[in-house]
Amino acid sequence: MNLDELVKSKSDYLKKEDVGEDGVNLTIRGFKKVQVEGDNGEEEKIAMFFAEENFKPLLLNITNKNRLKIATGEDTVEGVKGKTINVYNDPYVEIGGKITGGVRIRAAVGATKTVPLETDVPF
């Protein structure tokens, strides 16, 4: 057993350890502005929520926003809702010049389809 599985992160948001290098296919339910603790206090971020209930939301950064557009072929919030993407741990993500790994988005693996969703997520 991997030690990361033994002691789970207490984060409310998806981490690289939650998805592995092969990733998981997840269906986008919607987006919501959230307040998170940053290096300089509270920051407003955008969280992407999934239809699969056992997965935490993913905080979007610019890189993953751009990858989302490529993976789905869409450039609007309405266009990506219901689309399935693959969320995975890219071990080559760099932060501050150090290779740390991190969550990335790519096109879904295998056959997928757009699912119409009822959602309570604001956008």
Interval 15-69: pLDDT, tens: 999 999 999 999 999 999 999 987 788 899 999 999 998 999 999 999 999 999 9
Residue 62 confidence (pLDDT): 96
- Per the domain annotation, does 80 fall within a domain? yes
What is the predicted pLDDT for the residue at 110?
A: 82
Contact status, residue 81 vs residue 119, Cβ threshold 8 Å: yes
* Residue 118 is assigned to a structural domain of this protein: no
What integer pLDDT is reported at residue 85 of this predicted model? 97
Residue 117 included in any domain: no
Q: How far apart (Å, rounded) are the C-alpha atoms in residues 116 and 27? A: 10
- Flag whether 77 is in a domain: yes
Q: Confidence band (pLDDT; 50, 70, 90) for 116?
A: low
* Percent of the chain clearing pLDDT 90 (strictly above): 71
**CA atoms of 36 and 12, how far apart (whole Å):** 10
Whether residue 123 lies inside any domain: the answer is: no
Does 117 score more than 60 pLDDT? Answer: no
User: Is the Cα dihedral 115, 120, 121, 123 positive or negative?
Assistant: positive
Instruction: Tell whether 121 is covered by a domain.
Output: no
Region of 23 please: left (phi>0), alpha (psi -120 to 50) or beta: left
> pTM for this structure?
0.81
Tell me the pLDDT band of 99, cut-offs 50, 70 and 90: very high
Average pLDDT value for the chain: 88
Query: Is 2 domain-assigned?
Result: no
